Amino acid sequence: MKGYLSGNRITLLKNGAEYFPALEAAFDRAREHIHLETYIYSDDETGRRIAGALIRAARRGVKVHLLIDGFGSQPLPQALLQTMREAGVRVLVYRPEISRWRLRRYRLRRLHRKLALVDAAIGFVGGINIVDDAASPDFPPRYDYAAAVEGPLVGEMFVAMRRLWNLVSWSQLRNARSRDHRRSLAVAPAGKVRARFLLRDNLRHRRAIERAYLREIGRARHEIFIANAYFLPGTRFRHALVAAAERGVRVVVLVQGRTDHPMANYAKQAFYGRLLRAGVEIYEYQKSVLHAKTAVIDGAWATVGSSNIDPFSLVLSREANVAVHDRGFANELRASMLNEIESGAVRVMPESLSSLPLYRRFLIWLSYGVVRVMMGMVNYPHGDPRR
């Protein structure tokens, strides 16, 4: 299949409990270079733990590059960054926030990727930021995924991450360009999995992730499972899901029940009616905060990454997903998603919409109206959610 590379090993990692130990261990094995990109980097136990691994690597001579987003990581204290820099970690900030009170479209173009790369050995792709999984020991961890990648796909990750690092360095007139002059990274096969590294940017890959979803949804014959934290699909995406359901495909969508963004939570409910009438199953996750961005289609194709199904991810932010054509990986992810639906989600029934109190309906349509204006700002086709 076009764009897919064979010879990979892809390992599913659920939540920070599996991701952070794997990431730290990979950093401690590094011998040549480390690249880490994240939207949120927090000064908490997890952030300091990962910083410690980066510092240890830099002190033994590894070229360490940390790229953080200027909005998502704005609360990160300069003291922690300075400690890393003094140890030899190269740190750059993508689009630093200067004024929080001026709304400009370019400010919405964020670095939302969550990527890591170590030597020619292993890469990580997913939705997990460098932040503690849970707000407190008594609260279940965020529900999220990452994937560890070994094999030729690591070479594509290297090219993409080095290119962005050098672009940010050049744009800020910083003397921090990567000194690795290799145009590509040759990586030996590590398995038998076919996979593709999907990027979304504002040049060559503006619609790559959305098109990958739409292509696979259009080909679906039996089942579509989607778990997505911020679900505000545009016209094309909604129509694709409706068309799949109407031709007899089981379509299951898992969205947030508990949310840290009330407006997005209310706005997404404006889409429920049309999807439910077509036969789409919608579940709201209640056990903890859903942060996953995953999908499995026909038990053969799967994706894990940073991209939400909303205008900010699909047409504005820099995003990265891995798409996998492998039944073993797809079925492992499907089983995990199904377990979370059965143990922590509540199904939205069509009759529940008609019994919503008036104030809830007002909040839903008010929130959707605000989001619709924002969609218009970014030229994202939204149409009427009832159609």
- Say which of 291, 310, 326, 382 is annotated catalytic: 291
CA distances, 330 to each of 195, 242, 346, 361 (Å)? 12, 23, 23, 37
Q: Please say whether the beta carbons of 384 and 372 come within 8 A.
A: no
Beta bridge partners of 282: 253, 348
Active site residue 382: no
| Parallel, antiparallel or unpaired: strands 250-258 and 223-228 | parallel
Of residues 114, 268, 326, 382, which has the active-site annotation? 114
The angle at the Cα of 301, spanning 295 to 305, to the nearest 5 degrees, equals 45
User: Alpha-carbon distance 112 to 108, whole Å?
Assistant: 11
Pairing of strands 281-289, 115-118: unpaired
Instruction: Tell me if 46 sits within 8 A of 16, measured CB to CB.
Output: yes
Tell me which residue has tokens 């959305």.
Answer: 210
Which DSSP state fits 142? P
How far from the centroid of its chain's Cα atoms is residue 93's Cα? 19
Q: Is 298 a residue of the active site?
A: yes
**Catalytic-labelled residue, pool 112, 133, 144, 326:** 112
Is 287 designated active site?
Answer: no
Q: Is 201 noted as a catalytic residue in this protein?
A: no
Query: Quick check: is 119 catalytic?
Result: yes
The answer to whether residue 144 is catalytic is: no
- The catalytic residue among 293, 310, 326, 382 is 293
Q: What's the rounded Cα separation, in Å, for the pair 327 and 197?
A: 18
Active site residues: 112, 114, 119, 291, 293, 298
